[in-house]
Every structure is written in C-alpha cells, then in structure tokens.
Structure 1
C-alpha cells in the first residue's frame, strides 16, 4: 500500500476526507499490463477500474483543451487578460456542465473516438466496439466536486457491461480536484442492488406529480447515492482512491463502481474533463445516448410505468 501521509487534505462535496492510509489511497497505474489483456481484465474485475498513465497523446489532449478554452473565451466565460488555455474563469462566472464544448469538436473526437482509446477498448472487450454519441464534458470551477454515484442509473437501458472513460484535459494537481473511486465498491451488491438498477428517467405514469415533473425534464430519482463521501466510505469500506492526473492519462471503470470527485480548491481555475462510454457493438445500447442529437434526459428520454 502506498503511504498517503504526504497528501494534502482532500475535500469532496464540501466534506473533508478522512486522510488515514486505510481510508484514502492512490490509484494504481496499469501501464505495466497494457500488453496483457487477460491481466487487464483480471485487474478490472478485482479493482473495479484501470488507470492508464500517459497512454493518450499529450499533444492531442492539449490541442483539444485549447479548442474548448477558445470556445469558452469566445462566450466571455474566461478572464479576458489571460491566455484562454490557462482556464481562468472570468469574474462573476460559474461553470459546471458544458457538453456543447465537445459537440461537433473534431479535436475532442480525435482523442476520444479514434486511435488509442478505440484500440484499447477493442482489445479489452475482445471484439468490435461502439461508443455513445453523447460526450459528457465538464468545466468544474472552484467549489464542490461531483457527489458519490454509480453510472448505471443514468444509462442502464442497454447492456450493463459498458464502461466509462474519464479524461482530464490538462494537468490536474490535487487542489484542482479530480475523479476518485471507492475501492471494492463494485462488489458490494448487498448495498447497491436497491439503488443501482433504478432509472433516473423513469417515472410513475399514474402519479400526476411525477408526470408533470417528467414533462419538465425533471427527475423523481436523481441518481445520487449520497452527498457525504466520508459516510459512503464508512458504509462500504475500502478507500477513496485518486491521484494527481496529467494530460494524456485516463481512468476507466464499469457501471457498478461508486465514484465521485474531489473539490476544486483553487481560486479561479477550471478543471476540464470528459466522460465517454464504450461497449461491445454486439450488445444492446441505451437509445438515449445515440444519434445525431441524442435525446438524453429530455422529455423524449423519459419512460413511464404504472407504479
């Protein structure tokens, strides 16, 4: 076990994490197993994630970052006296979810949907793959990170064997806030079963308040597991695992792994990252996330049932 005594105090969703070595740890890179697909699959089964250090072309990732920060600057969201690529927020602006930055962006698509990532998942799945057409793109300013959750409630209408890929666009020191995963949580179905198979876009068609909420694009169930990462860790056991990320890294995991993000503790810097999804082409896919304009969580993606 790598000792974490030298780590700074980390925060997640406004809560200080317990920094003891049995409660917080560092992600294990799996670059040493890159050419051994059986070992990669074993680690994925055992650890619930694969962390690949520098496998993506750093120049391509930074070019994608530049394309996005230039768009943000053009929207007046970045500090006018700084180079946009620095990602310094303009005074008074707040940023979080910006999928428009990835839409019709060939430099982002080059990183995520061609070359090394496609080759990686093709080898890992052992057959032809396909990806979701929607890219989740986040520009996280100072403040709270993402709360603990699993991904399946948001994308569980097709296969349950698809995978998330988290990519940072730029170097991410601890203070900027990055992804963290809860060690071993993907094996705790005793705690997850009543949560993870729910659909955030499902609603009771015989309950007028839920129907009205769905028509407005709302959720009856938000998909959040908790707003308190330390309590989640205490309940599930294991450690919150994270690291300082660099442009060119990626972290991938399945639909049952509990994860969250540490808080951005800087004064004015953005952490830019994307979530993309990959699966075997032979398996069913969630219709909310494919097509020229995927319906996602809009009214078109809602599904009613009699409760």
Structure 2
C-alpha cells in the first residue's frame, strides 16, 4: 500500500492495514463447486483472475470511450446513463449485449447457486472519469434489487484495468454475514445525499471505524471479475489514478423472485 491517504466522494480515509485488507482470489479451474459455494458464503464475494480474455474486454472499453469522447466533443452531455448519453445507447448496442450474454457468465452464476438461473437484462454501466470526486457510496445491492443472497448474483466486470485508486469495487469485510448491520448503522451514518435513503453512507472511514471492519480491496486487470452477494456492503474510492468503466452483470434463480423491471435495459434515471 503506497498511498497514505485516499478519498471516496472527497472524504479522506487512511490507506493503511487498519482500514484496508487484500481480497483473496479463487482459482476457478481447481476449485470444486462445493468449495466455490463455501468461499462465496464465507467471503461474500469470489474474485476470479483472468476469467475473460483481456483483448475483448479492452475492445469493449475502447468502443465505449470512443463513443463517449465523440459525444463530449459534440456538446454538453446529459446526466450519465440517461437518454442521449452514450452509456444509454451503449448498453442497448449489439456488441455490448453479445459481451454480457457470453455463456461463461451464466455458467459461473449457475455454479455458485447450484440452481437453474436466468440472466437479468438490466445491466448498469458505470463510468467514473479520472480526477472526479465521485464514487460509489457504501450500499448493498439488496436495497436496489429484490432477492436474497441465494436468489441473485452480480458479476462485477471492469472493462479494462482498474486499480483500487481508479475506483475498483471494495467490500466491507464479513458484512454479508450480519443482515442487521445496514439498518444498525444507517441512522447515525453521515450522508451527503439526504434525498436518497438507499446508500448507507459516503464516509468509508466512519463506517470502517463504527463496524470495526476493513475494506477488502484489489487491483483488477482486464479479464478479472468478482462475483458478490446482494447482502455485502461495498463501495469504491474516487477515481484518482485512472478511469473506471464497469458493468454489473446479474443473474437470478429461475425459482426465485422475478421483477418485470429486470427485463428492461438500464438507464440511470429508471428509479431502480
């Protein structure tokens, strides 16, 4: 850890072993289904290095950034992910749909759940530009999607290299094993977005100190993915050292809950 202090939504947090730990990776080829599920249950996430070939991932990144830069040069961009923004068009494009519908994603989700699963079409695309003081606030996916940790899985897929200081996803250690934790801390948590009750807090230092838990983090290379539970608290740092582009590829158990909004393409203003 070379940085002594980092920020998330502009709030400082010491980049030290008191606040951060290293995510452990799983080797998919040498891990049985039973051990894979045990690791997922224990950690709340499964980090897989080199899950995808790097070249197609980088190609997807380049395609979006070219579209984004062209739109930015043409004039003022609307809010990220709304109609008229390149992210809105990109998630509806054939190359993006082909990328997220690769069979390896569904096979991974099926191994983790041990059940028949179906893809969730709604696939958010996150883009944080370098130097911006905007990051993902601490939250659980369960606040935004219906389903228990065994009903829905998210495959967080960075489109290109993504270091911790570029905004890679981080997990609050063991938080998925305490279902009451979000509600316990929410009442006293600092929050910079008072009109949105879904995030827990924007102050990652406060949350780590209040819960006595570290943020588990890792640098990602193109082709790496991490699967996480809807019950685990996660967040990101500000993209101070690079540009983060990522997709949330999700699957649900066929015998679990189904929300009709899952069948729609994502937009950032869909209220979901």
Alpha carbons 1:13, 1:229 under 8 Å: kept = no
Alignment match of 2:222 (pick from 213, 228, 247): 247
Q: Secondary structure at the match of 2:140?
A: coil
Report what 1:304 is aligned to: none
**Relative to 1, partners in 2 of residues 1:175 and 1:96: Cα closer, same or farther, differing over 3 Å?**
farther
Give the alignment's Cα RMSD to 1 decimal: 3.0
Alignment partner of 1:37 is 2:33: yes
In the alignment, what sits opposite 1:185? 175
> Structure 1 72/159 Cα, relative in aligned 2: closer, same or farther at 3 Å?
same
Counterpart position of 2:161: 171
Q: SS where residue 251 of structure 2 aligns?
A: strand
Does the CA contact (< 8 Å) of 2:162 and 2:243 recur in 1? no
**Counterpart pick for 1:149 among 139, 144, 155:** 139
CA distance in 1, matches of 2:32, 2:152: 20
Please, which runs of 5 or more residues in structure 1 have no aligned partner? Answer: 79-89, 197-218, 302-307
The equivalent residue for 1:202 is none
Instruction: Choose between structure 1 and 2 for higher RCO, CA contacts under 8 A separated by at least 6 residues.
Output: 2
What is the TM-score when the length of structure 2 is the normalising length?
0.82
d(CA) in 1 for partners of 2:185, 2:17: 28
Structure 1 residues 275, 195: closer, same or farther in 2, change over 3 A?
Answer: farther
TM-score calculated relative to the size of structure 1? 0.74
Whether 1:66 and 2:62 are equivalent positions in the alignment is yes
Is 2:250 the counterpart of 1:277? yes
Q: 1:119-170 deviations in whole A, cap 9, x for unaligned?
A: 21122222321121111101101222111111111112x5553112211111
Q: Distance in 1 between matches of 2:196 and 2:167?
A: 26
Which of 132, 135, 152 in structure 2 is aligned with 1:162? 152
Describe the SS at the equivalent of 2:46. Answer: strand
1:1-307 superposed matches below 5 A = 4=1, 6=2, 9-31=5-27, 35-76=31-72, 96-97=80-81, 99-141=87-129, 142-156=132-146, 158=147, 161-193=151-183, 221-266=196-241, 270-291=243-264, 293=265, 298=270
After superposing the two structures, state which structure 1 stretch, 43-52 or 62-71, moved more.
Answer: 62-71
How far does residue 46 in structure 1 lie from its aligned partner after superposition? 0.9
Count of residue pairs brought into register by the alignment: 258
Tell which deviates more after alignment, 30-39 or 166-175: 30-39
- Offset at residue 222 of structure 1 (A): 3.2
CA distance in 2, matches of 1:77, 1:254: 39
User: CA separation in 1, counterparts of 2:267 and 2:216?
Assistant: 33
CA distance in 2, matches of 1:101, 1:273: 15
Structure showing greater Rg: 1
Write the distance in 2 (CA, Å) between the matches of 1:295 and 1:145.
18
Alignment partners' CA distance in 1, 2:92 and 2:80: 19
Corresponding residue for 2:191? none
Deviates more, 1:7-16 or 1:247-256: 7-16
